[in-house]
């Protein structure tokens, strides 16, 4: 065991205790689990977590005598919360999209390893007082934790904007932050936002979110915009961009093979909610290194996974990609599944079978 482990475990336990007993956080977690949360909720959730991390770090950092232990504990704690905050954000985004009939998977921003390493290392500074170290431990870990949310918002707003959605980014301030924050607060079309909109200084309590509800659809005869994407040069750019986001885990050949596979005969694509367009490549978005496929309602997902697990060793084990058929509400559906081993599947496509 490295010296950091013991410290990390202690800090982790203390942080868990705080998070569990925070009633506001529990209320937010319930909304998130119920699928009714939005990015304002995730921002608040993140700010609360950030505050707790700040306090744990500031309270405990002095008790860690080993300098390396300080650094490791700080890094491990931030890494944990990076994962959990991105998980929460991905979940909320999937629910919002589901309600809007959008099929774009969340992009997971990279872990800001260098920034975290620097912050953790600054806790070892022998030239400053213990009090300064504690203040630093609080403010930098708070700030970095909030930036996990900001990074997700920035990357997904950018990705969606490039994918053809009209995305607005919004920075809200309590008005008590600082003159710069007051100046920059507002709502902007993504790509027209002021420089530095996604940054925050220490002790900044601004909320940065995005709203991608308005699709850049074609104008129909009624004068209203439809919810389809314009089939213009944009489309090519969009696909090119989506392709550049190919999975890190699959080889290029594998990815091309997956993309190039044709539908079995007798199947048609359902239009509208929950169903992919046959030609679009946007059904192959990846969350970090892991493909996570399309989003299905929890109950449906559970049913599919259970069925596949039951049939796995008899039918699917040797197939990298397979089609699984099932009945939902008296209709036949087929799911294209990427096989990553038993109980580890990525649902890439859902298709309704002709009667």
Closest-CA residue to 148 (of 83, 203, 90, 212):
83
CB 199 within 8 A of CB 220: no
Among residues 56, 107, 123, 181, which is the contact residue for Zn ion, using CB under 5 A?
A: 181
Tell the smallest beta-carbon distance from residue 126 to Zn ion (Å): 32
Starting at the edge strand that comes first in sequence, how are the strands of the sheet with 207-215 ordered?
186-189, 165-172, 207-215
Among residues 29, 177, 239, 263, which is the contact residue for Zn ion, using CB under 5 A?
A: 177
Query: Is there binding between residue 25 and Zn ion (CB under 5 A)?
Result: no
Question: Considering beta carbons, is residue 102 or 206 the nearer one to Zn ion?
Answer: 206
Residue count, binding to Zn ion (CB under 5 A): 4
- Per CB under 5 A, the segment of 107-115, 177-185, 187-195, 247-255 that binds Zn ion is 177-185
Q: Where are the alpha helices (DSSP H) in the chain?
A: 3-21, 23-34, 39-60, 67-100, 113-121, 130-162, 179-184, 233-244, 252-260, 298-311
Question: Considering beta carbons, is residue 206 or 308 the nearer one to Zn ion?
Answer: 206
CA distance 23 to 227: 39
Tell the smallest beta-carbon distance from residue 208 to Zn ion (Å): 9
Tell the smallest beta-carbon distance from residue 197 to Zn ion (Å): 11
Question: Considering beta carbons, is residue 198 or 333 the nearer one to Zn ion?
Answer: 198
Query: Is there binding between residue 204 and Zn ion (CB under 5 A)?
Result: yes
- Per CB under 5 A, the segment of 59-67, 88-96, 172-180, 292-300 that binds Zn ion is 172-180
- Per CB under 5 A, the segment of 124-132, 173-181, 257-265, 347-355 that binds Zn ion is 173-181
Among residues 137, 206, 284, 338, which is the contact residue for Zn ion, using CB under 5 A?
A: 206
CA distance 156 to 300: 26
Chain position carrying tokens 């931030």: 78
CB 117 within 8 A of CB 75: yes
The secondary structure of residue 67, as a DSSP letter, is H
84: CB partners within 8 A, 6+ apart: 49
> Per-residue contact track with Zn ion, 43 to 82, x per CB under 5 A?
----------------------------------------
Residues that bind Zn ion (CB under 5 A): 177, 181, 204, 206
């Amino acid at each position: 065991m490295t010296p950091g482990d013991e410290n990390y475990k202690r800090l982790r336990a203390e942080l868990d205790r705080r998070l569990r007993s925070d009633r506001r956080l529990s209320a937010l977690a319930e909304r998130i689990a119920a699928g009714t949360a939005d990015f304002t909720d995730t921002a608040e959730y993140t700010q609360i977590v950030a505050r707790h991390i700040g306090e744990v770090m500031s309270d405990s950092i002095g008790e860690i005598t080993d300098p390396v232990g300080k650094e490791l504990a700080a890094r491990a704690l931030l890494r944990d919360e990076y994962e959990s905050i991105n998980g929460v954000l991905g979940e909320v985004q999937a629910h919002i999209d589901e309600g809007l009939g959008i099929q774009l998977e969340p992009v997971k921003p990279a872990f800001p390893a260098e920034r975290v390493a620097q912050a953790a290392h600054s806790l070892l500074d022998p030239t400053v007082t213990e009090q300064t170290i504690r203040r630093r431990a609080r403010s930098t870990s708070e700030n970095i934790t909030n930036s996990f949310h900001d990074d997700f918002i920035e990357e997904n707003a950018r990705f969606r904007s490039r994918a053809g959605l009209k995305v607005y980014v919004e920075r809200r301030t309590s008005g008590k932050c600082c003159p710069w924050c007051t100046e920059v607060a507002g709502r902007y079309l993504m790509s027209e936002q002021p420089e530095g909109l996604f940054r925050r200084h220490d002790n900044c309590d601004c909320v940065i979110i995005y709203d991608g509800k308005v699709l850049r659809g074609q104008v129909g005869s009624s004068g209203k915009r439809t919810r389809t994407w314009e089939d213009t040069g944009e489309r090519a750019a969009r696909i090119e961009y989506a392709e550049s986001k190919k999975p890190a885990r699959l080889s290029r050949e594998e990815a091309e093979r997956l993309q190039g596979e044709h539908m079995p005969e007798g199947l048609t694509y359902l239009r509208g909610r929950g169903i992919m367009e046959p030609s679009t490549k946007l059904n192959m978005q990846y969350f970090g290194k892991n493909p996570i496929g399309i989003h299905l309602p929890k109950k449906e997902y559970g049913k599919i996974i259970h069925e596949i697990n039951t049939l796995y060793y008899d039918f699917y084990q040797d197939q990298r990609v397979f089609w699984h058929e099932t009945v939902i509400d008296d209709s036949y559906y087929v799911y294209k599944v990427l096989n990553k081993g038993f109980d580890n599947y990525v649902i890439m496509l859902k298709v309704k079978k002709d009667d």
